[in-house]
Chains A and B, each alone.
Chain A
Amino acid sequence: QTAVTQEPSISVSPGGTVTLTCGLSSGSVSTSYYPSWYQQTPGQAPRPLIYSTNSRSSGVPDRFSGSILGNKAALTIRGAQADDECDYYCVLYMGGGISVFGGGTRLTVL
């Protein structure tokens, strides 16, 4: 079964820009996978950020953007803030009714 891959951890400086990626263990991610992104702080339910590759969920600041970069989906955060420090998950729709989460990326702002 194809796995969804994410960087285990990434760091960014306050005010900086960082890109998190979401790939496949085999093959390329395209818009047909309807990539979506979720932010999760400890002890909380995930918060939707991005859907259908690059659409922002309600209330999400435009510092967060989604795209396809090469063969992966990408989440870019501009002007990183201290409270952006948490876990980020992507989800890909694999077809046949099945969705798969990536392993998550822990973002550190320092």
Chain B
Amino acid sequence: QVTLKESGPALVKPTQTLTLTCTFSGFSLSTSGMRVSWIRQPPGKALEWLGRIDWDDDKFYITSLKTRLTISKDTSKDQVLLTMTNMDPVDTATYYCARINPHLYMDVWGKGTTVTVSS
């Protein structure tokens, strides 16, 4: 059974750096074709794809946030990390991680973690 779970701080201050962890099980990010994406959803708004990391350590980011985002993986711990710098109240959202299978779709999602940016 494939599962993913997001974890991290519920509250960060403006200008701080956010680090979220996606801990997964049931698959290996070392397996060819496997990928993990990060997605966020501000309250009452649409989902927004943020980026992804591939089995071969390739990384891709949404253009608008590329300078603030870093996605990395720790294969030994079955974890993917999302780092977002210079947090702003508009970054308040529920953050999800999801596995992308070889058909290039997000087939299993975590439950999400809510992050509020406020002083």
Answer yes or no: do A and B interact. yes
| Chain A min CB distance to B2 (Å) | 11
Is A52 an interface position by the 8 A CB rule? yes
Q: Are A97 and B63 in contact (CB under 8 A)?
A: no
Q: Are A34 and B47 in contact (CB under 8 A)?
A: no
Q: Are A36 and B109 in contact (CB under 8 A)?
A: no
Q: Are B47 and A51 in contact (CB under 8 A)?
A: no
- Contact A36/B48 with A1-B63, A99-B37 known, Cβ cut-off 8 Å: no
Residues 39-51 of chain A, each 1 if its beta carbon lies under 8 Å from chain B, else 0: 0100001111001
Residues of chain B contacted by A38 (CB below 8 angstroms):
47, 106
Query: How many residues on the B side are at the interface (Cβ–Cβ under 8 A)?
Result: 25
Query: How many residues on the A side are at the interface (Cβ–Cβ under 8 A)?
Result: 25
Residues of chain B contacted by A45 (CB below 8 angstroms):
96, 109-112
Q: What is the CA–CA distance of A45 and B110 in the complex, to the nearest angstrom?
A: 7
- Contact A101/B105 with A1-B63, A45-B96 known, Cβ cut-off 8 Å: no
Q: Are B105 and A48 in contact (CB under 8 A)?
A: yes
Q: Are B46 and A89 in contact (CB under 8 A)?
A: yes
Residues 87-110 of chain A, each 1 if its beta carbon lies under 8 Å from chain B, else 0: 001010100111111111000000
A residues with a Cβ closer than 8 A to B are 1, 34, 36, 38, 40, 45-48, 51-52, 55, 57, 89, 91, 93, 96-104
